Structure 1
């Protein structure tokens, strides 16, 4: 039987976990706290730890402009399209490199890794000229295209690991019971890949939702900005940074990500195939 950790060791581990939790949670608390404070308290030399007497004026000011909802719809459209397209192509590619043997398979996998090493900034000019040539600047399709190109290599690599973790013997057993190859994959293998699809989908969602630099280059019109680009509008050259608006906007931007994660976190449990095949 494994030895149980002593009380001092457990206490030290719990304290270390508490420190990590506080370090991760404090920036979120400070963002929400600052969003509820008036400008004079935000710019005061002494920090205000609790928003006593705070208000939702910053939120009303952020929402009253109307640009927030335009940027929200733009970000939702681009993000949903990016996740759907990248998951579809990545899933097919992961199946191909895992379940089949073909010439150039290893070269394809190595190419995926090499693409990940290319700095995104180094592709700005070529991507801009390409989208301009196809008249895709300031469009959901154009920004989605460059996002998919950015997300797809890592997504394929991640899904490849999940597909490889599902034993092929499960499909063979289903085919011996009368299922066709497609039925065996749809009824047996595909449900077991749900955690991998959800995990890679979350990655693609966060990447597309929070991306800033590509959106600045591709979406140049005021009414076509995504939420991160819209958030930069609170930086004024003359008045400085409107931290109340920045924090209120950041809080609103974080809400859809939290909702999405709460909806899918139940599926992000690995090890569903453990014990499925016995030797």
Structure 2
């Protein structure tokens, strides 16, 4: 009894330490965003600001950053992220349904290739993708960048959604067919609601991938009015020094839409678990 209790205490303590190690950088980022420059560059580290200020947030939100503004960069990132989520989720759902429900030639090869694609570093594809977009006249275009983001989000989404689709009993679809539902109605009223939790997980991944991506955006976009929020961060780094206050303020603002998106789609996760059942 004592050994079990001691083991539980050790596990809980380890979990708390891991949590603190993961959360500490985020807390330091937020704390630094509210510190005045005198406290940021102080030789004595201060976990919390003694004299909180909003000057860094004011500079990021209302100041002119390079040739654009925060809200312009925010709009570009939002368009890219939402377009990536919608397109990749639709393509991945259709492909995952085909892989999970149908038997066709090279099906196993297709699944293996999905894993192989995930193993290739993104940096190794920058040159080839640059040449492809240049050939298609899609450089310096948000549309071209969206195509790249979708291409990287779809393989992972297919692999994840395949498990959710395969977990849905075929009897539910057969029961809907007996009741007179066609293939499209069965897909939207039976399969789609039950696969909704998987769509939520993949959409979060796709959103974060497009929202935080920097290398492709920095390489493929030339005009600053098409820059994204991660690209905006580089404007605070200079040869003479780095503006750590605005950097931390911009980083804090950069994380808020991801949290908001997760909270919005998370509410719809539970409803998808019980929806889509047939009459009993």
What is the TM-score of this pair, normalised by structure 1? 0.91
Alignment of 1:144-155 (within 5 A): 144-155=146-157
Q: Aligned residues, how many?
A: 272
Q: Equivalent residue for 1:39? A: 37
Structure 2 CA distance, aligned partners of 1:145 and 1:176?
Answer: 40
Structure 2 CA distance, aligned partners of 1:117 and 1:13?
Answer: 33
Aligned to 2:52, the other structure's residue is in SS state coil
Q: Equivalent residue for 1:83? A: 85
Is 1:253 equivalent to 2:222 in the alignment?
no
Structure 2 CA distance, aligned partners of 1:176 and 1:46?
Answer: 73
**Structure 1 portions without partners, runs of 5+:** none
Instruction: Specify which of 50, 67, 70 is matched with residue 48 of structure 2.
Output: 50
Structure 2 CA distance, aligned partners of 1:190 and 1:270?
Answer: 12
Alignment of 1:167-186 (within 5 A): 167-186=169-188
Q: Equivalent residue for 1:7? A: 5
Structure 1 CA distance, aligned partners of 2:243 and 2:224?
Answer: 19
Kept in 1, the 8 Å contact 2:196–2:273? The answer is no
Alignment of 1:1-279 (within 5 A): 6-66=4-64, 67-238=69-240, 240-268=241-269, 272=273
Residue deviations 1:23-68 (CA, integer Å, cap 9, x gap): 2221111111000111221111211111121100111111222421
Alignment root-mean-square deviation, CA: 2.2
Provide closer, same or farther for how the CA distance between residues 131 and 248 of structure 1 changes in structure 2, counting only shifts above 3 A. Answer: same
Deviation at 1:266, TM superposition (A): 2.8
Aligned to 1:272, the other structure's residue is in SS state helix
Provide closer, same or farther for how the CA distance between residues 70 and 179 of structure 1 changes in structure 2, counting only shifts above 3 A. Answer: same
Deviation at 1:160, TM superposition (A): 0.8
Deviation at 1:133, TM superposition (A): 2.4
What is the TM-score of this pair, normalised by structure 2? 0.91
Aligned to 2:53, the other structure's residue is in SS state coil
Kept in 1, the 8 Å contact 2:193–2:273? The answer is no
Kept in 1, the 8 Å contact 2:83–2:146? The answer is yes
Structure 2 CA distance, aligned partners of 1:236 and 1:53?
Answer: 26
- Please say which of residues 228-237 and 39-48 is displaced more in the overlay: 39-48
Deviation at 1:229, TM superposition (A): 0.9
Structure 1 CA distance, aligned partners of 2:133 and 2:106?
Answer: 30
Aligned to 2:273, the other structure's residue is in SS state coil
Kept in 1, the 8 Å contact 2:196–2:272? The answer is no
Structure 2 CA distance, aligned partners of 1:182 and 1:198?
Answer: 21
**Structure 2 portions without partners, runs of 5+:** none
